[in-house]
Amino acid sequence: MAESRNIGLDVRAPDKACEDINCPFHGKLSLRGKLLTGRTVSVSAKNMAVIERESFQYNPKYMRYLKKRSKVHAHLPPCLDNIGVGDTVLVAETRPLAKTVSFVVVAKQSDLRKTILTNP
């Protein structure tokens, strides 16, 4: 197993190592703030994943719930190469890495040993 840092979350470090400085496991990136889960809708951009999250909001006028969607751009370190479109992933907030990227993918939801409480 490759050498990796303790990122402060109860997730298993990836089996592969990587050279990415912005990898929470093998680089120098620190995590703070929110934890979110969402479904991956794109992994086309280099080292980035687009995560879509669905929520429901009550509309008093029509007395119905509206389905809301939002997208989060997250850095995807090269060691997490088993993540593809359609996977549910856990992302953690970090410092801004690019104009729209201030989250990093830390684990695939199906690889987690137990549920990690995330922000709404």
**Cα 48 from Cα 102, distance rounded (Å):** 11
- Does 23 interact with Zn ion (rule: CB under 5 A)? yes
- Does 18 interact with Zn ion (rule: CB under 5 A)? yes
State the number of binding residues for Zn ion (CB under 5 A): 6
Alpha carbon of 20 to those of 24, 26, 47, 67: distances in Å?
Answer: 9, 7, 10, 37
- Does 79 interact with Zn ion (rule: CB under 5 A)? yes
CB 47 within 8 A of CB 29: no
**Cα 29 from Cα 95, distance rounded (Å):** 8
Choice between 24 and 38, CB closer to Zn ion = 24
Helix (H) or strand (E) holding 35: strand 31-42
Q: Smallest gap, in angstroms, from Cβ of residue 96 to Zn ion?
A: 19
Choice between 18 and 76, CB closer to Zn ion = 18
Q: Smallest gap, in angstroms, from Cβ of residue 109 to Zn ion?
A: 18
Residues of this chain that interact with Zn ion (CB under 5 A) are: 18, 23, 25-26, 77, 79
